[in-house]
Amino acid sequence: MAVRGDVQIVIIGSGISGISAACKLVNAGFQNVRILEATSRSGGRIKTAKLGNNIAEIGASYIHGPSEENPLFGLAQDYGLLDPEAASPENQAMDIDERPPWVPNFFSSSGQRLNAEEMNPALELYNELMDDTVPLGNVKESPWPSVGHFLRSEARKRAAERWRDKDITTQEQLLCAVSAMLKGECCASATHTMENIDLMGFCMYKSLPGLDCTFPGGFEGLVKNLMLELPADLVSYNRPVRCVHWNNTQSRVKAVTVECDDGERIAADHVIVTVPLGYLKKNHSTMFSPPLPAHKLNSVHKLGFGTCNKVFVEFESPWWDDGCEIIYLVWNDEKDIVDQVSDIKKSWIRKMSTFTVLKGSDGHVLCGWIAGHEAEHMETLTEQQLKHSVTGLFRTFTGDSSITPKRILRTQWFSDPWTCGSYCYPAIGCSAKDLENMMEPLPTSESQSQALQVLFAGEATHPFFYSTVHGALLTGRREADRLINHYSSFSSRRQPYSERTNKRT
Ligand SMILES: Cc1cc2nc3c(=O)[nH]c(=O)nc-3n(C[C@H](O)[C@H](O)[C@H](O)COP(=O)(O)OP(=O)(O)OC[C@H]3O[C@@H](n4cnc5c(N)ncnc54)[C@H](O)[C@@H]3O)c2cc1C
Ligand SMILES: *[C@@H]1O[C@H](CO)[C@@H](O)[C@H](O)[C@H]1NC(C)=O
Ligand SMILES: *[C@@H]1O[C@H](CO)[C@@H](O)[C@H](O)[C@H]1NC(C)=O
């Protein structure tokens, strides 16, 4: 009978899901756990950079729903990584559905600042529509094919009813502002257009209470702290895995062989795969031998995985209000409520309609959000081209032809060969079944000694916290628990659950 000390476990990927799985397994007494990571660092889509003296999060920036139920919030608090304000009971109690009540400024493409009070009805209408998607998750047959269809048609309808007493210019401006918000929404779902998002699928996502907060010292501080809990040599860096050979049926051979890109072959009893869905979509055919079963593969194809990028822009001095937290750029020819541009090469920059003001930055830094094919195109530009376009954008909206960004930094998640995009979304036709298929271990039915050869964790395997850090973290723990329970069920007398053996910190 296997003893935990002998069990060989390989984890593919050193993002938050892989690290969380390793922590749990090591603490439960498994001594042969290793992580193979393609790149030279841990953290994956948690990655902190600097722009001048300011923190710039290349990947995740917010703890979504920082409150008691959120395990990420718990860890961040334990490690002392949060501002006291972020951890306050008032902040934890705020139920805002991940839509922080940020103080907005609006600028128009005619080069004028718009009166925030006058634009407020657009924000109100938009938030109301988002709230109204929630009950639609329970209807049997939705009259709208997608979240985008719902938002656009309802926005037009309600706007016509309630804004009819306003003058036509104001009405049109409000509709244009709704376009800016819809483009911003594409970033939250990492999608090209909200018309790609399944309305019922959208409602699978659960938000937690709490006012979204950031890590003042950078998100990567969390990863650094977690790594200190693990033996120093547990992660092998620059070790891409090429193929997972499973279902080895010869006796006295481990069930799985992991083949690295450098040719090394590592025998394992269990492998936890945490590679991003974007990578899996591209590489599944060479990554598994035998191939993934058809129903799992079908879900890999069906679930969406898209791009959301950020463009950090630093200015000599702010041209927005003191206390402003978000800037909407309102194009005055977008009253039809649009979230995609017609000519990507020429006008991709229109997609970048919302800028958040970085808190605690000693410079004056904005973070522009851009999603979809426009974001993918942005990645291909040279620094010069990007600077030229971004400078033009701010000159247009401020009406100040001398305004010049001091520094610019962009993310390029679509071109990242180990991620191939940003995070997953419920594409049209997706259901809870697809996320279930994603997390189902291989083989799907087998005798116990052959069970749990390949397990799956990562952001895109969580049934309702997909696309988040806390979701990814929970999936790593879930798969570790699956193995812990497996061994507890038939060798609990030999190996006490609480054994902590190789903690070397
Ligand atoms: C721009 C952006 C903004 C975001 N903002 C937020 C936010 O504010 N809040 C939030 O909660 N979430 C946010 N997210 C999502 C969050 O970052 C992810 O959901 C989470 O970090 C994913 O963790 P993971 O372990 O599933 O995957 P990853 O962190 O991607 O880890 C997977 C690892 O596998 C490695 N790998 C890939 N292929 C191989 C291979 N063949 N062999 C070996 N290793 C391989 C990769 O290099 C990577 O290190 C954001 C993501 C992006 C991109
Ligand atoms: C993943 O797929 C891409 C595109 O097919 C290919 O170029 C790359 O070599 C694959 N990666 C690995 C590690 O096999
Ligand atoms: C696993 O191996 C067994 C025995 O050789 C075989 O019958 C079965 O079809 C294999 N499963 C897969 C998914 O290839």
Please check whether residue 129 is in contact with residue 178, taking contact to mean a CB–CB distance below 8 angstroms. no
Residues with a CB atom less than 6 Å from ligand 3: 247, 249, 290
Q: Residue 294 and residue 305: Cα distance in Å, rounded? A: 19
Question: Which ligand is closest in space to the CA of residue 241?
Answer: 1
C-alpha distances (whole Å) from 142 to each of 147, 199, 460 are: 10, 8, 25
Half-sphere CA count of 133, side-chain side, radius 13 A: 28
Q: What is the pLDDT of residue 504?
A: 36
Instruction: Tell whether the torsion through CA atoms of 408, 412, 413 and 418 is positive or negative.
Output: negative
Q: Residue 471 and residue 493: Cα distance in Å, rounded? A: 33
Q: Residue 474 and residue 469: Cα distance in Å, rounded? A: 9
Span from the CA of 442 to the centroid of ligand 2 (angstroms): 22
The ranges assigned to domains in the chain are: 92-212+305-410
Do the strands 423-425 and 8-12 form a parallel or antiparallel pair, or are they unpaired? unpaired
Task: Collect all residues with Cβ–Cβ distance below 8 Å to 57 and sequence separation of at least 6.
Answer: 47, 48, 49, 214, 218, 219, 310
Q: Counting atoms of ligand 2 from 1, which one is nearest the CA of 243? A: 14
The verdict on the CB of residue 472 being under 6 Å from ligand 1 is yes
Please check whether residue 226 is in contact with residue 20, taking contact to mean a CB–CB distance below 8 angstroms. yes
The verdict on the CB of residue 37 being under 6 Å from ligand 1 is yes
**For the domain 92-212+305-410, what is the CATH code?**
3.90.660.10
Q: Counting atoms of ligand 3 from 1, which one is nearest the CA of 442? A: 13
Contacts within 8 Å (CB) and 24+ apart, 260-263? 260/36
Q: Counting atoms of ligand 3 from 1, which one is nearest the CA of 290? A: 14
Give the model confidence (pLDDT) of 58-73 as tens digits.
Answer: 999 999 999 999 999 9
From 288, 243, 235, 289, select the one nearest 266 (Cα to Cα).
Answer: 243
The verdict on the CB of residue 196 being under 6 Å from ligand 1 is no
Q: Which of 245, 249, 295, 442 to mutate to test the pocket of ligand 3 (most atoms within 8 A of CB)?
A: 249
Q: What does the block give as tokens for 70?
A: 């959120």
Q: What is the pLDDT of residue 446?
A: 65
Q: What is the pLDDT of residue 445?
A: 79
Indicate left, alpha or beta for 399 from its phi (over 0: left) and psi (-120 to 50: alpha): left
Helix ranges restricted to H, 264-371: 277-287, 294-302, 344-347
Q: What is the pLDDT of residue 340?
A: 96
* Residues in the chain, pLDDT under 50: 1, 492-505
374: helix, coil or strand? Answer: helix
Q: Residue 319 and residue 368: Cα distance in Å, rounded? A: 15
From 229, 276, 224, 192, select the one nearest 504 (Cα to Cα).
Answer: 229
Beta bridge partner(s), residue 273: 12, 456
Beta bridge partner(s), residue 454: 271, 442
Span from the CA of 271 to the centroid of ligand 1 (angstroms): 18
Q: Identify the residue whose tokens are 């997608």.
A: 146
Q: Counting atoms of ligand 2 from 1, which one is nearest the CA of 261? A: 13
Q: What is the DSSP string of 80-92?
A: T-S-TTTTSHHHH
Span from the CA of 260 to the centroid of ligand 3 (angstroms): 23
Q: Counting atoms of ligand 1 from 1, which one is nearest the CA of 58? A: 1
Q: What is the DSSP string of 96-137?
A: -TT---PPEEEEETTS-EEPHHHHHHHHHHHHHHHHHHGGGG
From 20, 21, 40, select the one nearest 418 (Cα to Cα).
Answer: 40
Q: Counting atoms of ligand 3 from 1, which one is nearest the CA of 293? A: 13
477: helix, coil or strand? Answer: helix
Asked if the bond preceding 71 is cis, omega within 30° of 0, the reply is no
Question: Which ligand is closest in space to the CA of residue 410?
Answer: 1
Q: What is the pLDDT of residue 493?
A: 44
Flag whether the pTM goes above 0.85: yes
| Angle subtended at Cα 286 by Cα 431 and Cα 268, rounded to the nearest 5 degrees | 90
Distance of CA 435 to the CA centre of its chain: 15
Q: Residue 11 and residue 26: Cα distance in Å, rounded? A: 12
C-alpha distances (whole Å) from 389 to each of 184, 202, 235 are: 19, 33, 41
Question: Which ligand is closest in space to the CA of residue 220?
Answer: 1
Q: What does the block give as tokens for 180?
A: 């800016």
Q: What does the block give as tokens for 185?
A: 């929404």
Residues with a CB atom less than 6 Å from ligand 2: 240, 242, 261, 282-283, 286
Q: Residue 413 and residue 375: Cα distance in Å, rounded? A: 9
Helix axes 116-133, 147-162, angle to 10 degrees: 130
Task: Collect all residues with Cβ–Cβ distance below 8 Å to 381 and sequence separation of at least 6.
Answer: 389
Please check whether residue 106 is in contact with residue 328, taking contact to mean a CB–CB distance below 8 angstroms. yes
* Atom 13 in ligand 3: residue holding the nearest Cα: 290
- Which amino acid, residue 182? L
* Atom 8 in ligand 2: residue holding the nearest Cα: 283
153: helix, coil or strand? Answer: helix
Span from the CA of 288 to the centroid of ligand 2 (angstroms): 13
Q: Which of 423, 439, 455 to mutate to test the pocket of ligand 1 (most atoms within 8 A of CB)?
A: 423
The verdict on the CB of residue 222 being under 6 Å from ligand 1 is no
Instruction: Calculate Rg over the CA atoms of the chain.
Output: 24
